[in-house]
Amino acid sequence: MENRSNRSGKKLASTREKFYPVDSSSSATGNQAEGSLTDPTLEVGFEDDIDQFLPGDFLRCEYTVNLLPEHEIQAIETSVIWMTEGKGDTDIGVHHFERRPKQALTPDTFKQPQRISTVMPASPLTYDGNILKIRWCIRVRLFLPNAHQVTHDCFFSLGETKSFSKITEEIQPDSTATSD
């Protein structure tokens, strides 16, 4: 077979932390956004710490970007999204989206908390099923040089959330009731 490794002078990048040996003691999980200690950090919080909303409610939250002097932010994207989780593929719907490019970012952007606000829609409501779950979140994404990103998700619920077992309890007739 033809050896084509010399077709280009470019070499492969060296392997880093993406691979794990089987006996490694590190505890990285797929649940966390990737990031390193030297990345900017994000804090997101709801007004009055309220993280439960009803359709038509006004959602208000704030986020703060903590930067070091060497950090360079290319853009900030904020969105209010819903997503499905479960055994199948993940669906995502965007309810609110805002992108602030580098030109729109001022020193104040990083000194003061920035506000996100939107009126919540009628659906889809937060749902906690066995096979499928619907979750809402506020996603703040920082775009750094070299296509690097820092993302923070802050979850909340829309509508009155009941567990699957509670719903089944409610729709099942009372087993203690006697009939004639």
Partner 1 sequence: MQIERNPYSTCFTAPGKLPFIFPAPDQPERLLAEFERLGFQGQIVGPHGCGKTTLTESLEPYLESRFPTIKRITIRTDGDVSGRIKENGIKNSHPSTLFVIDGIENMSWLQRRIFIKSINRMAGGLLLTTHRAIRGVPVIYQIAPSFQIFSRIVSLLSPDQPIDQQLLKQVFTQNNDSIRESLMSLYTIWEEDRQRFIPVRDTQSAQL
Residues contributing to the site for partner 1 (CB under 8 A): 1-5, 7-8, 10-16, 18-24, 27-31, 51-52, 83, 85-90, 126, 128, 130, 133, 135, 155-157, 161-166
Q: How far is the CB of 106 from partner 1 (least distance, A)?
A: 34
Backbone angles phi, psi at 175, to 5 degrees: -70, -20
Q: How far is the CB of 105 from partner 1 (least distance, A)?
A: 28
Buried-exposed string 147-161: b where 16+ CB fall within 10 A, e elsewhere: eeebebbbebbbbee
Let me know: does 134 contact 124? Beta carbons within 8 Å.
Answer: yes
* Residues 96, 153, 125, 92, Cα dihedral to 10°: 70
Nearest residue (CB) to partner 1, 15 versus 103: 15
Q: How far is the CB of 127 from partner 1 (least distance, A)?
A: 8
Nearest residue (CB) to partner 1, 52 versus 66: 52
